[in-house]
Amino acid sequence: MATDRFSFFIPDPDYCDYLRQFDSRVPINSGDKSKRPFIGLVFQINDFQYYAGLASPKDKHSNMKNMADFIKINNGDWGVINLNNMIPVPQRLLTKVDFSLLSVVTAEDRHYKNLLQNQLSWCNEIKNKDFILEKAEKLYYSITNYESCFRNRCCDYILLEQECLKYCSINKINLRD
């Protein structure tokens, strides 16, 4: 059972670009994302920290079902967690989201900050946190053991782990720093 609370993180865009060279399903985390950065959850699978990105709510989410690689947050009203494109990320290349630093100038900004706080609260409810971690691990093992029909929608976790280790070696980064 999960005991630690989730926080939101933003992965380093250059690292994401590096991984995308090897797997085109790695999400794009660059460009003008200053107002809406690529935010997600981080959890441990084997020896790696895995980052799973969140998506804001869209109309299509209400008609979709939770799947092995996709989790609706509050029935999709608050967005989704995309487990399909989770990636291994060294701790040093993750920036923790500090809600107190999020600018709230407009009503849209306030809505976005409230959405993020609602998403995080939902993810940290014990039953939801356990559900997220169990689904992430189950998906990881089914993909890495070639037992899933979702392979064509998911990142190649084994390849990305190898590239993560290479990146750490080249850049003299400890996986846990």
pLDDT at residue 31 in the model:
53
pLDDT at residue 34 in the model:
46
Residues 6+ apart with CB under 8 A from 33: 13
pLDDT at residue 30 in the model:
60
Domain that holds residue 98: 8-170
Closest CA to 122 of 78, 175, 88, 83: 78
Any bridge partners for residue 41, and if so which? 8, 52
Quick check: is 148 in a domain?
A: yes
pLDDT at residue 102 in the model:
77
Question: How many domains, the chain?
Answer: 1
- What CATH number should be reported for the domain holding residue 121? 3.10.129.130
Ordered alpha helix ranges (H), the chain:
13-20, 107-124, 126-144, 157-170
Any bridge partners for residue 53, and if so which? 40, 82
Quick check: is 175 in a domain?
A: no
Quick check: is 161 in a domain?
A: yes
The pLDDT profile of the chain, 177 residues, written as one tens digit per residue, is: 345 899 999 999 999 999 999 999 998 876 554 445 689 999 999 999 999 999 989 888 878 888 889 999 999 999 999 999 999 999 999 999 998 887 778 888 889 899 999 999 999 999 999 999 999 999 999 999 987 777 888 999 999 999 999 999 999 999 877
pLDDT at residue 72 in the model:
95
Closest CA to 48 of 124, 119, 136, 127: 136
What is the Cα gyration radius of the chain? 16
